[in-house]
Amino acid sequence: MSREIIQQITLRGLRGLQRVEKDVREIIEAVRTRGDEALLEFTRKFDYVELDPNVMRADREDFEAAYRSVRPEEIRALKRAASNIKRFHKNQLQRIRFEQTMGGVTLGVVARPISSIGIYTPGGKTAYPSSILMCAIPAKVAGVERIIACSPPSPQSRFNPHILVASEIAGVSEIYSIGGAQAVAAMAYGTASIKPVEKIVGPGNVYVTVAKQLLSRHISVDLPAGPSEILIIADEHADPKFIAADLLAQAEHDENAQCILLTTSERIGGEVKRILDQTLASSTPSPVSRVALEKSGLIAVVHDLQEAARLSNEIAPEHLVIMTRDPGSVFKAIRNAGLVFLGKYSPVAVGDYSAGTNHVLPTGGYARTYSGLSVRDFIKTIGYVRCSKTGLRRLARETATLAEIEGFQAHSNSIKVRGIL
């Protein structure tokens, strides 16, 4: 794979951001200064919906109507997924707290939740109730008291019923029919109808991403999450049908989705290309999938699995799938990835929906420095120290000495005054 191709892939996170920054700044300022009036104006302009300010927030009737329109098996699927997500994220929380005691000195860390968060969940061409589960449940597990959500309306409906049902299952306190950069600004600054929150999470389009970046000096935000990405590492033992299916699955997310196969086998690469070409020639794939694969699809034959792992680390994909005879050995070489799927029976779709891991993941190469959304995003850790007299005596001399080296005599005296030295 050429250096030019790698550079083009690794710079993907910058595409389109500067193009919309001026517009997003204007939207943010309008919401900050004009509040609800600006929200209604932008909803009319971008969503083609004339919204009544008194019905921006979902009420009990909206939820009851949503439950009537969502099929029982869909509600059961949402509840099962929610249960798995809750279980996984509870385990994360248990690993954050600890305490150690040695020689009269006790050190520890406790977790305290953020008091309020806002979730952005996309509307666009389709709605994503799974994103509500992925954002709200870890916050609920962390102990966040107020969880609100914003999702754009459509000309057909103020609220998507699946979004409302998922919101109630996940424990969302308030949900508003507002979308785009204006929703992010409203959650950050507050309006007459929407009280501000302390942190904003959730994926969105380029306008939402830029709004979160611009507002990050004013409010805490989560990771940069843009168009979906998949990178598959495969050897000659992989099943090309599975590979093609996983590439197509991610391609249907977004026209800018990135779909890459790195394989050590020319046979596997050729067979995957044949299946994809055959599928694209049929009426099966969506127009979105066609555009994504034509624009950002790539199959590359590499020398060995070590080279595949090295290239994957440079690209730092959102989703990494390892379909090799021994996926665990390849995984040991992986440093940069949002979420890794090991083996041929671990499709990305289970991580997207039901396994329990979080699907809000860093894209655009940000997996080099960011992790996926977790309970840690909704808590602050507070360390504590408790010394007995014996414990302080054990630490006193080096503490006083180091303080005096740095010229802080009062620090040293705060030890001596306790009659320890």
Query: What's the rounded Cα separation, in Å, for the pair 358 and 373?
Result: 6
CB 296 within 8 A of CB 226: no
Does 232 lie in the same domain as 191?
no
Last residue of a domain, one of 221, 244, 273: 221
CATH of the domain at 301: 3.40.50.1980
Known catalytic residues are 318-319
Whether residue 284 is contained in a domain is answered as yes
> pTM of the predicted model, to two decimals?
0.91
The verdict on residue 63 lying in a domain is: yes
168 in the same domain as 29 = yes
Residues 140 and 262 both lie in one domain: no
278: left (phi over 0), alpha (psi -120 to 50) or beta: alpha
Domain boundary residue, one of 177, 193, 221: 221
The answer to the question of residue 384 being in a domain is no
pLDDT of residue 7: 63
Pairing of strands 98-102, 105-113: antiparallel
> Which of the residues in the chain have pLDDT under 70?
1-16, 124-125
Q: Angle at which helices 266-281 and 287-296 pack, to 10 degrees?
A: 140
Looking at the structure of the chain, the number of domains it has is 2
* Residue 247 shares a structural domain with residue 148: no
Residues 281, 171 share a domain:
no
Res 326: pLDDT:
98
Domain for residue 403, yes or no? no
Q: Which of 221, 248, 266 is the last residue of a domain?
A: 221
Give the pLDDT confidence score for residue 254 in this predicted structure: 81
pLDDT tens digits along 274-327: 999 999 888 777 888 888 888 889 999 999 999 999 999 999 999 999 999 999
Same domain, 174 and 246: no
215 and 248 share one domain: no
**Parent domain of 286:** 227-371
> Please, which residues have CB within 8 angstroms of residue 148's CB and are 6 or more apart in sequence?
116, 117, 118, 119, 172, 173, 174, 175, 176, 187, 194, 195, 197
